[in-house]
Amino acid sequence: MKKIILLLMFSTVIFSCKNSEEKNTETEETTVENVEKILAYKGDFINSDGAMVLMGPNFIYGVKRDLLSEGLAKQVEAVKKNDYDMVGVIVKGVVSKNTDKESEWDEEITIKEIMRVADKPSEVDIKLNETEKKN
């Protein structure tokens, strides 16, 4: 009789330990899913006609408006020479699907940290020559 009771107690301990391990695994998985991926992005920033855009070599993101992005816009404004100048920046942020119906961008970046703002505007890829019209 003692052996049966001992066997029941031993099996109860083993099953209860196994259940607690499964619960811990589930908790870790949900925690990992909720973590935002904050990455560094290097690109050209422009704030024109109310739209903020970060454009890199292989991406174009709309920039979510908040205090940090407004601060970046002010820093870039000090460097720009005209309204359509783009300024090189390095920022840390989170890219997500755009839920704003009015915005044209598929993805938007929420800036978490401004790492660097260039001293001068970026070089233009295509330069247009403007000539005066002669009557």
Task: Look at strands 107-121 and 60-63 and give their pairing.
Answer: parallel
The pTM of the full predicted model, rounded to 2 decimals, is 0.65
pLDDT higher at 46 or 105: 46
Q: How far apart are CA 92 and CA 104, in angstroms?
A: 22
On whether residue 47 sits in a domain, the answer given is: yes
In a domain? residue 14: no
- In this structure, what CATH number is given to the domain that contains residue 109? 2.40.50.140
Let me know if residue 5 belongs to a domain.
Answer: no
Label residue 68 by pLDDT band (50, 70, 90). Answer: very high
Residue 105 binned pLDDT confidence (cut-offs 50, 70, 90):
confident
Residue 42: pLDDT above 60?
Answer: yes
Residue 25 within a domain? no
3-state class (DSSP) for residue 134: coil
Domain enclosing residue 53, as ranges: 39-121
Is the alpha carbon torsion for 47, 64, 50, 128 positive or negative? positive
Domain count, the chain: 1
